[in-house]
Amino acid sequence: MQNTCEPTNNIPRQIRIFWPEYHNGQFGQFWRFGPCYLEKELKGEVDIRQKEKKLALNFVLEKSGSTLPELLSRLQETEEEARAAYPECDLKDIDGDKFREMMAIDGCFYLLVAFSILGEGMDGFKLEFPDNHRFFGIGCVREAMEMWLSSMFFVGNQIPFVVLKQLMKLRFFQELMKKNKWKQPSGLLKRAVHMLLIIELDPKPVDLIHCLQTCLLGTRSGSDVGISIMVNDVGGDEVDDLPSAVELCRKGIAFAALEEDLGSRGIHYKHGSFNGVLYLPIFKVDRYTALMVECLHKYEIVQKARGIKPESTSFFKLLSELIRTEQDVDLFSSQGVILGGSAEALPEILSEFDDVEPCDYIRCLATTACGQQKDGKNLS
């Protein structure tokens, strides 16, 4: 069984709202970035937050020796591409001047938070804001890390990379990138921020959540390729239900970890004479895993409506089939497939995918496993 990659990048990604969340009022507790949730900010917080964003922009412009008119002129060069990253319905009352100003104010603050997240815990990292600054002083972002991550990864609450790229040309951000050694973090959420700000990719994901999806799917085979696992000559009828990891092990199927940059698109199964090996991506579990899984699932629900394959959801469905008990978690941990001290929470996190329809490669694996059992290829 092997992977065959099919391009899925014919449909441009857009920064779109997950409508059930738009209507349930949850957004008010988070910071808004971009136009999608403009009407959902808590009225009492709008003026305060807008003032803080403008003050932060002025600080960056002063440190960069630049002015707002100069920055807005720069943003005008990519305005058409930036507007195309959002649905027209979210921009209907926003003219060019208002859009560019929003991208400058929100985008600059977005970058400051992103660099703070990436630099948290890094020796010598400092944003050059006063130590007692309300948001970017010493330890401030760390104390509110969950809120900032939830805001930045909230589906539809992103700034297009094409805008961030222009903003990062400001001297403040150029010096910030040059004077720090930006090592790739291990957690997926921070890896996504690292990909957005530091790593050069062509094409570059349109926004932060697209970076998160790319980190999970893997980068070695390139961006935006789909996964389809094919089985040749496995025999027997097609089966939907995949046994758990422990049950598969009893049937003679072993597990091995892929190299990190392969991701879920590198999943493959090798069928030997007496047993098989299922190669899975390394999956690091930390305190933000539930947030990451939730964001990607909602993101792919939105993108699926536009004809884009929900590849991360298919991977999480596979994990939910394989990981049902603590024994399954222990097995994967012993094989280096699952890393992290919070792995015992995985069965509950993945239960969100219990009702998701099995994808083709789950059926293929289930059929193969049952075929091995019928053939008597059982190590237990």
Q: What is the pLDDT of residues 309-336, one digit of tens each?
A: 899 999 999 999 999 999 999 999 999 9
pLDDT above 50: residue 376: no
pLDDT band at 43 (very low <50, low <70, confident <90, very high): low
Domain holding 292, by residue range, is 225-374
User: Same domain for 170 and 283?
Assistant: no
The answer to whether residue 66 sits within a structural domain is: yes
Confidence at residue 156, expressed as pLDDT on a 0 to 100 scale: 93
pLDDT beyond 70 at 187:
yes
Whether the CB-CB separation of 213 and 350 falls below 8 Å is answered with no
Task: Identify whether residues 43 and 133 lie together within a single domain.
Answer: yes
Say yes or no: 234 and 338 in one domain. yes
Do residue 348 and residue 277 come from a single domain?
yes
- Domain count for the chain: 2
d(CA 50, CA 41): 11
Q: Token match 């990891």: residue? A: 245
Q: What is the DSSP string of 124-135?
A: T---SS-TT-TT
Summarize the confidence of residues 129-148 as an average pLDDT: 85
pLDDT on residue 173: 95
Does 216 fall in a domain? Answer: no
The alpha-helical segments, DSSP class H, found in 7-95 are 19-23, 43-64, 68-76, 79-84
Same domain, 242 and 178: no
Average confidence (pLDDT) over 53-72: 96
Please list, in sequence order, all residues whose beta carbon lies within 8 angstroms of the beta carbon of residue 226, skipping any fewer than 6 positions away. Answer: 5, 6, 7, 8, 265, 309, 311
pLDDT at residue 27, as a whole number? 60
| Claim to verify: residue 144 and residue 256 sit in the same structural domain | no
pLDDT one-digit tens code per residue, 152-177: 999 999 999 999 999 999 999 999 99
Specify whether 363 is located in the same domain as 253: yes
What does the pLDDT read at residue 88? 92
Minimal CA–CA distance to 156: which of 15, 294, 299? 15
Residue 12 lies in a domain: no
170 located within any domain = yes
- Residue 262 shares a structural domain with residue 346: yes
The SS3 assignment for 6 reads strand
Q: Does residue 176 form part of some domain?
A: yes
Examine residue 69 and say whether the peptide bond preceding it is cis (omega within 30 degrees of 0). no
| Cα–Cα distance measured from residue 86 to residue 301, given in angstroms and rounded to the nearest whole number | 16
